């Protein structure tokens, strides 16, 4: 369904050296499947999502790679054709629901505006009512304004808006970060139900690895612009391969008895302008090998997990992909 191949995105600021952010990003999502993309802030998660819909910031450019959606390579598509992709084939929801709703239009009005099919006013209204019910809102919310809804209800109306044209792919960028825990779980469950019902492909972007493993079928872990590990979510959560994934899961306070010391990752996230040589995780890695400091690890395959780490180079059935 969606297939991203060897994607490379860099920032070109005038008069400055280009900064490479995403490199060799590869993943695919089948319809009816959810892929959770996890990583810390500034690792390139959102940039990956923006590349897919080609809404990159002004200075960023896709250097190479393919983004195949239903047979089209979006990288080569003209802006005019992208208009038929965004909204129609790809729906998106974001973190802060209130900032994506227009305060002076009613909810129903805004959802109806998103409808791309040539329908009469009455048909559109009918469709919006249906969509509202589907996301757990009531028909009366059609006439209400964003400020009258709670954060969770606003997010629900944005989900209705994203799904109104029956897209094939839904990109959810931190959909629950600004919501309360109880609401967040309701929203995630709603997204999951709708995804299964409409056989959507879901790209779930989040920094919460526990949430990602719970709601994603597959998990992709990103570090410094590269996917370091990708595979079945539950499997990775219980036995992570890449040292970064292992350390990240080890940072969850619920993995410890109260007041035990958490085994935190030493150091901090690297600056994209000064990435370490070789594997970009090597300065923080406790399993560092001599080779890690000088060359970039290729992707190694272990069963259904792909991992970018030299530890899996020799011993395991290797295949460079």
Partner 1 sequence: MEKLWELKKVNKTYQLTDPLGGAIRLEALKDIDLRLYQGETLGLVGESGSGKSTLGKVLLRLLPVSSGRIFFRTLEITHLPESRLRGLRKNFQIVFQDPYRSLNPRMKAGQIIMEAAAGSFSEKKERARKLLLDVGLSTDDFDRLPHQFSGGQRQRLAIARALGPEPEFLVCDEPTSNLDLSVQAQILNLFLQLKEQYFLTYLFISHNLKVVEFLADRIAVMFRGRIVEIGKSSQIIRSPAHPYTMSLVASSQYRVTRLALRTIPSQGCPYACFCPEFENCCLDYIPALKEIEPGHEVACLIRGK
Binding site for partner 1 (CB under 8 A): 40-41, 180-186, 188-189, 207-211, 214-215, 247-248, 250-254, 256, 258-259, 261-265, 268-269
Nearest to 35 by CA among 245, 222, 224, 205: 205
- Which residue, chain included where needed, has tokens 């450019």? 61
Least distance to partner 1, CB of residue 150, Å = 10
Q: Nearer to partner 1 by C-beta: 94 or 223?
A: 223
Least distance to partner 1, CB of residue 152, Å = 10
Least distance to partner 1, CB of residue 23, Å = 21
Q: Nearer to partner 1 by C-beta: 71 or 258?
A: 258
Q: How far apart are CA 194 and CA 113, in angstroms?
A: 21
Q: Nearer to partner 1 by C-beta: 100 or 244?
A: 244
Least distance to partner 1, CB of residue 41, Å = 6
DSSP-assigned states of every residue in 141-153: GGG--GGGS-HHH
The DSSP element (H or E) to which 154 belongs, if any, is helix 151-163
34-38 and 218-223: which strand pairing? Answer: parallel
DSSP-assigned states of every residue in 91-136: EEE-S-GGGGS-TTS-HHHHHHHT--S---HHHHHHHHHHHHHHTT
Q: Nearer to partner 1 by C-beta: 28 or 40?
A: 40
Sequence-separated (6 or more) residues with CB below 8 Å from residue 268: none
Least distance to partner 1, CB of residue 303, Å = 26
Q: Nearer to partner 1 by C-beta: 112 or 172?
A: 172
């Amino acid at each position: 369904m969606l297939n991203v191949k060897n994607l490379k995105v860099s920032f070109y600021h005038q008069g400055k050296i280009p900064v490479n952010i995403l490199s060799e990003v590869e993943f695919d999502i089948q319809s009816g499947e959810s892929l959770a993309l996890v990583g810390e802030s500034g690792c390139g998660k959102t940039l990956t999502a923006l590349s897919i819909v080609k809404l990159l910031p002004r200075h960023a450019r896709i250097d190479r790679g393919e983004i195949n959606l239903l047979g089209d390579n979006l990288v080569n598509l003209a802006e005019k054709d992208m208009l038929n992709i965004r909204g129609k084939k790809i729906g998106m929801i974001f973190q802060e629901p209130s900032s994506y709703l227009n305060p002076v239009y009613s909810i129903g009005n805004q959802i109806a505006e998103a409808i791309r099919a040539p329908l009469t006013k009455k048909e559109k209204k009918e469709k919006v009512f249906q969509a509202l019910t589907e996301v757990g809102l009531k028909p009366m919310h059609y006439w209400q304004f964003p400020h009258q809804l709670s954060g969770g209800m606003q997010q629900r109306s944005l989900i209705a808006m994203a799904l109104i044209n029956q897209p094939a792919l839904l990109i959810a960028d931190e959909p629950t970060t600004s919501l309360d825990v109880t609401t967040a779980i309701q929203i995630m469950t709603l997204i999951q139900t709708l995804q299964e019902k409409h056989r959507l492909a879901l790209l779930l972007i989040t920094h919460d690895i526990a949430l990602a493993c719970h709601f994603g079928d597959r998990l992709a872990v990103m570090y410094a612009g590269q996917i370091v590990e990708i595979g079945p979510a539950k499997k990775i959560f219980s036995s992570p391969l890449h040292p970064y994934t292992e350390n990240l899961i080890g940072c969850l306070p619920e993995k410890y008895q109260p007041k035990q010391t958490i085994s935190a990752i030493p150091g901090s996230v690297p600056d994209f302008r000064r990435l370490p040589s070789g594997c970009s995780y090597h300065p923080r890695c406790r399993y560092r090998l001599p080779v890690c400091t000088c060359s970039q690890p290729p992707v190694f395959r272990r069963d259904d997990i792909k991992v970018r780490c030299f530890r899996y180079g020799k011993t395991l059935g290797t295949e460079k992909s």
